[in-house]
Amino acid sequence: MEHAHQVLIVGGGLVGASLAIALDRVGIRTALVEATAEAMPAVFDERNLSFAEATVNALSALGVLQALKAPAGPIRQIHVSRAGDFGRVRLDARDYGRTQFGQVVVARDFGQALEARLQTLTHVTRYRPGRVTAVGVADGGRRVVDIETPDGVVRASAALLVAADGTDSITRGALGIEADRHDYRQTLFVARLQAARAPDGVAYERLTDSGPTALLPRGDRHYGLVHGVASEDAEAVAALDDAAFLARVQSVFGWRAGRFEAVGPRSRYPIRRVVAAATTAPRAVLVGNAAQTLHPIGAQGFNLGLRDALTLAELVADAADPGAPALLERYAARRREDRSRTLAFSDGLARLTSNPSPLVRPLRSLGLLAIDRDAALQAMLAGGAMGYRGDVPALCRGGAA
């Protein structure tokens, strides 16, 4: 028996789950294929998510942030500097009529809030654990997928198939969409960090040859640490005890946030850039990391992926056919500017700030000084940090979809 849906989402991670909630809100019959039966997949760990203002607006409208059990940490100021260079960039939300640029949320807490909302949905069928083993096209052009479940293979169809299954998306491959890949040869260590002074709303990003070291102000009087190292040094850094690891981070970051006193369990992730050659195929769309996986510098990844999902939900809401070619063309057109500008910003900043050439250093320093003194350049950076690039979905602007 074939199970028919309007939209079928492959991937129940952060973006896929958010999309399911947005589609349920407008009454779209949706299927969500999730790789694990656990309420807390491994992806929802101690990583710290920096939500832009646009993301906060949207997730509040979807009722997700209200389900957080732990307090979020407001980002009131942003401080960017580069080791070995002079100059720095400081942004203050008050200069833009805001109390904050966004919020810091622990990924595990966010995962629990998403799960709480998913359990209340009335238009979403969840296949979990489920694994898509085949993708095809049925008579009439509908997408058909085979889903392997504990009870056997289930066949489901939908007018629109959404690939939200991450960087190494199997669905993207099944659709025949190629991806451009770049290895930055950097590894990120993430952890909870305690300093002698509690966070005061400042998000710090310290840039180095081997990647960024960032401190994000969490809501539990700790910082969320992101520490980039050269990949060839990752094993040695992973082997450090807590005291030695803290000493390393302190030496890279400096003392602007005070003395580092304790660090929680560490996770590490290789940094890659994976960009799909196209974001649509016949009756199919890629969103989130399946469409583009960015360098984490500037914390743009999830925010960009959520804007993918909400733009799609906005277009599907009033559509007679969610997978119509005209709708997919409109989706790609609406996402083009935001996607291209964010990709260029992330990749360009990552390559420029990690370039160790002495010829680049004075130019980079002058650039930092120029941004810190130019209100127009600062406003452009602040707008991007708050998630306002290109054609932004209505929910991100604080409006109704």
d(CA 217, CA 194): 10
Residue 375: which H helix or E strand, with range?
helix 375-385
Band the pLDDT of 399: cuts 50, 70, 90: low
- Which helix (H) or strand (E) segment is 285 a member of? strand 284-286
pLDDT confidence of residue 55: 96
The answer as to whether 100 is a domain residue is yes
Residues 6+ apart with CB under 8 A from 140: none
Q: Give the Cα separation of 223 and 219 in Å (integer).
A: 8
- Whether 238 maps to a domain, the answer reads no
Q: Identify the pLDDT of residue 208.
A: 83
- Per-residue tokens: 212: 């960024």
Tell me the per-residue pLDDT of 220-253, one tens digit each, with 9 for 90 and over: 999 999 999 999 999 999 999 999 999 999 999 9
Separation in Å, CA 282 to CA 28, 215, 318, 370: 20, 42, 19, 46
Q: Is 240 inside a domain boundary? A: no
The pLDDT confidence band at residue 140, using thresholds 50, 70 and 90, is: confident
Please name the helix (run of DSSP H) or strand (run of DSSP E) that holds residue 305, with its range, or none. Answer: helix 301-317
What pLDDT score does 159 carry?
Answer: 96
Any domain includes 58: yes
Assigned domain for 86 exists: yes
- How far apart are the two ends of the chain, measured CA to CA in Å? 35
* Residue-number span of the structural domain to which 354 is assigned: 2-181+272-397
Q: Which residues pair with 292 in a beta bridge?
A: 275
HSE value, Cβ hemisphere, 13 Å, CA-based, for 361:
11
Q: Which two tokens stand for residue 272?
A: 């890659």
Structural domain contains residue 10: yes
Q: What is the pLDDT of residue 212?
A: 87
Give the mean model confidence (pLDDT) for residues 125-151: 91
**What SS3 class is residue 271?**
strand
Q: What is the pLDDT of residues 183-234, one digit of tens each?
A: 999 999 999 999 999 999 999 988 888 888 999 999 999 999 999 999 999 9
Residue 16 lies in a domain: yes
Tally of domains within the chain: 1
CATH number at residue 135: 3.50.50.60
Specify if 199 maps to a domain: no
82 pLDDT band, cuts 50/70/90, is confident
Please, which pLDDT band fits residue 355 given cuts at 50, 70 and 90? low
Model confidence band, residue 386 (pLDDT cutoffs 50, 70, 90): confident
Question: What does the block give as tokens for 88?
Answer: 């720095």
pTM of the model: 0.92
